[in-house]
């Protein structure tokens, strides 16, 4: 009673709560509390629910890894959803129709993603087109390429013969391997792939000079150039990396659907951006990190799952998602003092 | 120095944007050309009874959906059987105004008949009426227009199909069971009709809908919703999805969870999708949502020969299940 109006927290905890990671963590905790309260007949406490949440969030999360790199460099990549579809179609063609082994399909898919990202990167960094416009163009272009490569149909295990009849081929081993579970069925393989991507992005951002360049460019591009940062190369590489992460996401998507859908991934870029921003990475560039993105991925992933297990109707879901995103961001703001 | 540098860059920016715009224009033109197909090759050949060659314009609202790709394929296949019948295909890429200008183009090039699968009713009613005024008969496929200024309408009835699915489900579950319903976009008419028809079909039975969710026609969403249903309910007898990709997504979710003994029912029955799933033992049944492509060509020929056609044709559905899929399904009245 005789103490001041503010309850005194231990200084370590206080510092954590005030840090960006602490704020993102509180947002996640808030969502988890909602889940505990609205647990849908105990469904929220089953391990399977959490495994499925992580599986569902993984494809978005992989896109968010690339998005984090690009956003930290002060850019944005709207093309990731379309590149995902392009790689899903190409990957399915290679793996299902042509029967290539995974050792060929994976590098070939990464090349497709890197090429798409490379074009965005060159147009943005070298030709100085606004990243928003350059990647918007790539978003349209890659979607068109996906439709062209697939002939407008899903690339599935029903393969059309020359005479119009269908023959059925097995789901390729690569797809089965990606859409499997480990640890006694308690962890989806795509989640492992997602965490692997997070690790790569973390090494790039925190342990490699390229990461420091990206922060510097996002902070102030002109002064980084003057202090000798290879701006062109570093920025282009960020888009190439984003394209490659989108390629990984595309293979994961195709494996989980057992087909390459040219319409896949529409709107995923916005979810990936939301995950990055909810984590606390600044859209202005220069500030943020992959750990924050991981928290953002979990926050949105759990929110989605909680609304789903409670069978909330679509209209309510959209409104609640909007409200909770704003609430999460506001929580971050209040703790900033 | 900085100024000149910036100037050069801004010029470059403009150039790049212009180039991109030109490229995308070129791409869309190329795309259009690719879609404008004619059947048979050398369409001016002599023909059919009347000895006249006919050109039919087909205005498709978008080719993003496999079902519409199938509709065009059905029209092409049916037309190929009649030498001298040439079909010009247009794809409006889900743009109402583009479809409107396609109709105007077809009228301008004086085709003998127009088949339109309209994107929406209001804005396309008038262009179709103008085509009729110009003396070109118009067959409306799948979605309706306002009023009655067209030659005839051919379409399927989602409510009837939903009802047929409901009745089949009652029969195959022996009148009672716990069912999950994965709905198509519930703000769309097909989603609403496949839902209300289904509820009509199961009315009076002891079928219990334990979980329903909007999966927006999308397979990944269906898988996600099914996972939620699986973690909430230990016993599920059947999943009814408003389209085949939805049923397929639900099947993958159940299989990943190691849950057996669940039946899966879908709608649409495209050859490479739903029918293939039934053949592979993934779905237990699927109900065809017919494209009407073949029927449109049939009626077009009658119209061109001056024979009468019904103003309205409601297509029936076909059931594909394990027992009949090899024989090409079973017609339901």
At B266-294, the pLDDT tens digits run: 999 998 889 999 999 999 999 999 999 99
Q: How confident is the model at residue A310 (pLDDT cuts 50, 70, 90)?
A: confident
With an 8 Å Cβ cutoff, are B256 and A156 in contact?
no
Helix (H) or strand (E) holding B86: strand B85-91
Cα–Cα distance between A198 and A201 in angstroms, integer? 5
pLDDT at B45 over 50: no
The per-residue pLDDT for range B158-170, each reduced to its tens digit, is: 999 999 999 999 9
The fold adopted by the segment(s) B34-150 is Rossmann fold (3.40.50)
Band (pLDDT 50/70/90 cuts) for residue A8 is low
Q: Taking 90 as the threshold, does the pLDDT of residue B199 lie above it? A: yes
pLDDT of residue A326: 81
Query: Of all residues in chain B, what percent carry a pLDDT higher than 70?
Result: 84
Cβ distance B241 to B264 under 8 Å? Answer: yes
CA distances from B243 to A171, B270, B292 (A): 21, 10, 18
Q: Which residues of A33-44 are buried (b: 16+ CB within 10 A; e: fewer)?
A: ebbeeebbeebb
- In contact, A253 and A59? CB cutoff 8 Å: yes
Q: If contacts are CB pairs under 8 Å, which of residues 59-78 in chain A contact chain B?
A: 59
pLDDT of residue B9: 44
The DSSP line for B168-217 is HHHHHTTTEEEEEEEES-TTSHHHHHHHHHHHHHHTTSEEEEEEEEE-TT
Instruction: Give yes or no for residue A337 having a pLDDT over 90.
Output: no
Residues forming beta bridges with residue A316, ordered by sequence position: none
A123 versus A39: the higher-pLDDT residue is A123
The reply to whether residue B252 touches residue A43, judged by beta carbons under 8 angstroms, is no
B225: closest CA of chain A, how far (Å): 6
Q: What is the nearest CA distance from B32 to chain A, expressed in angstroms?
A: 12
Give pLDDT, residue B289. 93
Least confident of A82-91, A162-171, A182-191, B67-76: A162-171
Q: Is pTM, for the whole model, over 0.95?
A: no
Residue A330: pLDDT band (50, 70, 90) is confident
Provide ipTM, 2 decimals.
Answer: 0.75
- What mean pLDDT is predicted for residues A163-191? 85
| Residue B158 and residue B194 in contact, taking contact as beta carbons nearer than 8 Å | yes
Answer yes or no: are the C-beta atoms of B125 and B140 closer than 8 Å.
Answer: no
Residue A161 has pLDDT above 60, yes or no: yes
Phi-psi region of B188 (alpha: psi -120 to 50; beta: other; left: phi over 0): beta
Q: Which residue of B has its CA nearest to A134?
A: B17
Residue B44 has pLDDT above 50, yes or no: no
- CA distance between the termini of chain B: 79
Q: How much is the pLDDT for A249? A: 96
pLDDT of res. A18: 75
User: Do the strands B113-117 and A187-188 form a parallel or antiparallel pair, or are they unpaired?
Assistant: unpaired
What is the pLDDT at residue B50? 52
Please tell me which of the candidates A41, A158, A304 has its beta carbon nearest to residue B276: A158
A253 vs B24: CB contact, 8 Å cut-off? no
Give yes or no for residue A314 having a pLDDT over 60: yes
In whole angstroms, what is the distance from residue B88 CA to residue B109 CA?
11
For residues A95-121, give the mean pLDDT.
94
Mean pLDDT throughout A19-35?
86
Judged against a pLDDT cut of 90, whether residue A156 lies above it is answered with no
Place of tokens 């002939």: A151
**Quick one: closest CA in B to A50, which residue?**
B231
- Determine contact: B244 vs chain A, CB below 8 A: no
Min CA distance, A65 vs chain B (Å)? Answer: 20
CATH for B158-289+321-332 (3.30.1330.10, 3.40.50.2300, 3.30.1780.10, 3.10.620.30):
3.40.50.2300
> Is the pLDDT reported for residue A215 higher than 60?
yes
A56:B227 CB<8 A: yes
In a 13 Å sphere around the CA of A283, the CA atoms on its Cβ side amount to: 11
Q: Which of A84, A120, A263, A303 to mutate to test the interface with B (most CBs of B within 10 A)?
A: A263
Contact assignment for B232 to A52 by CB distance below 8 Å = no
Chain B hits for A137, CB-CB cut-off 8 Å, are: 20, 24
Whether residues A311 and B211 touch (CB distance < 8 A) is answered with yes
Q: Per the CB < 8 Å rule, is B279 touching A168? A: yes
- CA-wise closest residue to A305 among B226, B218, B255: B226
Residues of B in contact with A308 (CB under 8 A): 213, 224-225, 227-228
CB B252 within 8 A of CB A253: no
Summarised one tens digit per residue, pLDDT across range A264-294 is 998 899 999 999 988 888 888 888 899 999 9
- Cis ω for the linkage preceding A257 (within 30 of 0): no
Q: Which residues of B touch A145 (CB under 8 A)?
A: none
Candidates A56, A166, A181; nearest CB to B272: A166
Tell me what the mean pLDDT of segment B20-35 comes to.
44
Asked whether the beta carbons of B133 and B115 are under 8 A apart, the reply is: no
pLDDT band at A111 (very low <50, low <70, confident <90, very high): very high
**pLDDT for res B49:** 47
Mean pLDDT of A184-194: 90
Task: Give the CATH number of domain A43-330; options: 1.10.3470, 1.10.260, 1.25.40, 1.20.1070.
Answer: 1.10.3470
Compute φ and ψ for A13, nearest 5 degrees: -65, -40
CB-based burial of residue A308 (10 Å sphere; 0-12 exposed, 13-18 middle, 19+ buried)?
buried
Q: Where in chain B is the domain with CATH 3.40.50.2300?
A: 34-150, 158-289+321-332
With CB atoms and an 8 Å threshold, state whether B231 touches A156. no
**Measured between CB atoms, does A221 come within 8 Å of chain B?**
no
How many C-beta atoms lie closer than 10 Å to residue B250's C-beta? 30
Spatial neighbors of B294 by CB under 8 A, at least 6 apart, are B74, B75, B77, B78
Whether the pLDDT of residue A318 is over 90: the answer is no
Would you call A40 and B216 a contact, using CB atoms and an 8 Å cutoff?
no
- For an interface test with A, the pick among B228, B259, B328 (most A C-beta atoms closer than 10 Å) comes out as B228
**Cα–Cα distance measured from residue A134 to residue A115, given in angstroms and rounded to the nearest whole number:** 14
B325 touches chain A (CB under 8 A): no
Decide if B284 touches A, using CB distance below 8 A.
Answer: no
Q: Which of residues 310-329 of A touch B (CB under 8 A)?
A: 311, 313-314
For B256, name the nearest residue in chain A, comparing CA atoms only.
Answer: A180
């Amino acid at each position: 009673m005789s103490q001041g109006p503010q309850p005194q927290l231990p200084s370590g905890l206080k510092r954590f709560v005030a840090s960006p990671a602490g704020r993102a963590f509180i947002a996640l905790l808030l969502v988890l509390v909602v889940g505990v309260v609205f647990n849908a007949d105990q469904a929220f406490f089953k391990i399977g629910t959490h495994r499925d949440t992580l599986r569902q969030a993984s494809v978005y999360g992989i896109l968010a890894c690339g998005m984090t790199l690009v956003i930290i460099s002060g850019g944005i990549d709207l093309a990731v959803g379309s590149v995902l579809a392009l790689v899903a179609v190409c990957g399915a063609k290679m793996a299902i129709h042509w029967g290539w082994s995974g050792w060929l399909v994976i590098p070939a898919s990464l090349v497709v993603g890197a090429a798409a990202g490379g074009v965005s990167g060159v147009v943005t960094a070298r030709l100085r087109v606004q990243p928003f416009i350059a990647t918007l163009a790539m978003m349209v272009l890659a979607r068109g390429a996906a439709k062209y490569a697939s002939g407008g149909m899903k690339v599935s295990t029903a393969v059309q013969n020359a005479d119009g009849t269908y023959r059925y081929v097995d789901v390729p081993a690569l797809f089965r391997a990606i859409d499997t579970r480990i640890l006694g069925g308690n962890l989806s393989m795509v989640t492992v792939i997602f965490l692997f991507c997070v690790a790569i992005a973390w090494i790039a951002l925190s342990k490699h000079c390229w990461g420091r360049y990206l922060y510097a460019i996002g902070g102030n591009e002109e002064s980084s150039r003057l202090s000798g940062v290879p701006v062109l190369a570093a920025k282009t590489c960020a888009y190439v990396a984003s394209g490659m992460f989108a390629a990984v996401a595309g293979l994961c998507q195709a494996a989980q659907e057992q087909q390459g859908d040219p319409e896949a991934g529409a709107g995923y870029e916005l979810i990936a951006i939301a995950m990055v921003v909810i984590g606390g990475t600044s859209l202005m560039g220069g500030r943020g990190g992959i750990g924050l993105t991981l928290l953002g991925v979990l926050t949105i992933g759990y929110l989605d799952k909680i609304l789903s297990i409670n069978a909330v109707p679509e209209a309510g879901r959209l409104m609640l998602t909007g409200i909770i995103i704003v609430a999460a961001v506001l929580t971050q703001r209040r703790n900033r003092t | 120095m900085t100024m000149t540098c910036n100037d050069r860059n801004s010029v470059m920016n403009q150039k790049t944007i212009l180039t991109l715009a030109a490229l995308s224009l070129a791409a869309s033109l190329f795309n259009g050309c690719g879609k404008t197909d004619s059947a048979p090759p050398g369409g001016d050949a002599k023909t059919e009874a009347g000895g006249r060659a006919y050109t039919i314009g087909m205005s498709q609202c978008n080719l993003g959906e496999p079902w519409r790709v199938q509709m065009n394929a059905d029209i092409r296949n049916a037309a190929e059987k009649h030498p001298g019948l040439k079909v010009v295909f247009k794809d409006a890429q889900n743009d109402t105004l583009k479809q409107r200008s396609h109709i105007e183009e077809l009228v301008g090039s004086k085709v003998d008949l127009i088949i339109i699968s309209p994107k929406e009713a209001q804005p396309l009613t008038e262009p179709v009426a103008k085509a009729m005024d110009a003396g070109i008969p118009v067959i409306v496929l799948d979605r309706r227009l306002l009023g009655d200024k067209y030659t005839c309408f051919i379409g399927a009835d989602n409510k009837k199909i939903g009802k047929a699915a409901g009745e089949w489900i009652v029969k195959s579950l022996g009148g009672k069971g716990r069912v999950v319903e994965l709905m198509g976009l519930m703000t769309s008419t097909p989603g609403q009709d496949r839902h209300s028809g289904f509820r009509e079909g199961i009315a009076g039975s002891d079928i219990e809908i334990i979980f329903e969710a909007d999966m927006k026609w999308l397979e990944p969403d269906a898988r996600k919703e099914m996972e939620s249903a699986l973690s909430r309910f230990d016993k599920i007898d059947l999943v009814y999805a408003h389209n085949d990709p939805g049923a397929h997504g639900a099947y993958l979710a159940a299989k990943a969870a190691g849950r057996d003994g669940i039946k899966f029912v879908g709608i649409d029955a495209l050859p490479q999708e739903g029918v293939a799933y039934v053949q592979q033992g993934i779905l237990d049944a699927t109900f065809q949502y017919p494209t009407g492509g073949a029927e449109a060509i049939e009626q077009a020929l009658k119209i061109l020969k001056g024979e009468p056609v019904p103003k309205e044709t409601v297509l029936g559905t076909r059931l594909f299940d394990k027992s009949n899929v090899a024989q090409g399904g079973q017609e339901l009245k």
